Amino acid sequence: MKFWAMFRQSFVVLILCGIGGILAGTVLGNMTESLRDVPGLIVLIPAIIGMKGNIFTTMGSRLGSAVHMGLITPEKIFNKEMAENVKGTMILAVLMSFITGVFASLSSYLLSLTGVVPSPNFLAIMIISIVATFITSIVLIAFTVCIVYVAFKKGLDPDNITGPTLATLGDFIALLGIFAISGAAIYVLDAVGVGL
C-alpha cells in the first residue's frame, strides 16, 4: 500500500478515535457515584477496558487476515471461519471477565486492609465484571464484523482501521456497560438485602 493511501485511511480513523477517547473520559467522569457506591470498581475499570481492547483488536486482526486470505468475503461473511472467531472471542471475553473480577476483588480487599479504601463487595464486582463484559462483547462483536465488512467493501485495508477503531469503541462501550450494570447491580443488591 502506498504511503499516502495508508496515511489517509489511518489519519481520519485516528482523529475519530481521539474524539471517542474524549467521550469515554466523559463517561468515566460521570461515574463518580458508582465509584463511590461500589468499592473496588475503580480497580476493575482499567482491567476491563484493557481486556476489551486486547480481545477485540485481536479479533479484528484475525478477521482482517481472513479477508486477505479469502476465507471471508462479502458474499460469505457469516461462514464457519466467522462463527469460530465469534465463539472463541465470546468464550475468552467471559472467562477473562471472571478472572479479572476475582483479581480486582482480591486486590481491592488487600488495599482495604490498609484502611485507605473500604472493603469491596465481591458479589457486586463479579456481577458487574461478568454481565458488563457479556453484554458489551455482543455489541463489540457486531461492531467488529461491521467494521471489517465495510472496510473490505469500500476497498480499504481493514488492518489500518480495525485496531484503533476497536480499541476506542472497546473503551467507550465497556465504560457505558460498566456504568449501566453497576447502577443495576446496586439497585438489585439493595432490593434483595445484600447491600454494598
Instruction: Give the residue extent of every domain in the chain.
Output: 37-190
Q: Per residue in 87-143, pLDDT tens?
A: 999 999 999 999 999 999 998 888 888 887 788 888 889 999 999 999 999 999 999
Give the CA angle between residues 109, 115, 126 to the nearest 5°: 20
List, in order, residues 6 or more apart from 11 with CB less than 8 Å away: none
Is residue 171's pLDDT more than 80?
Answer: yes
60: closest CA among 169, 181, 145, 173?
145
Please name the CATH architecture into which domain 37-190 falls. Answer: Orthogonal Bundle (1.10)
Q: Between residues 190 and 94, which one has the greater pLDDT? A: 94
With bands split at pLDDT 50, 70 and 90, how would you rate the model's confidence at 73?
confident
Burial status of residue 21 (CB atoms within 10 A of its CB: 0-12, 13-18, 19 or more)? middle
Q: Could you report the per-residue pLDDT of 8-52, keeping only the tens digit for each?
A: 666 776 777 778 778 877 877 777 777 777 878 888 888 888 888
Looking at residue 90, its pLDDT comes to 93
Q: Name the residue type at position 62.
A: R
What is the distance between the alpha carbons of residues 192 and 53, in angstroms, rounded to a whole number? 34
Q: Which three cell numbers stand for residue 83?
A: 462463527
Pull the grid cell for residue 94.
467471559
Hey, what's the cell of 52? 476489551
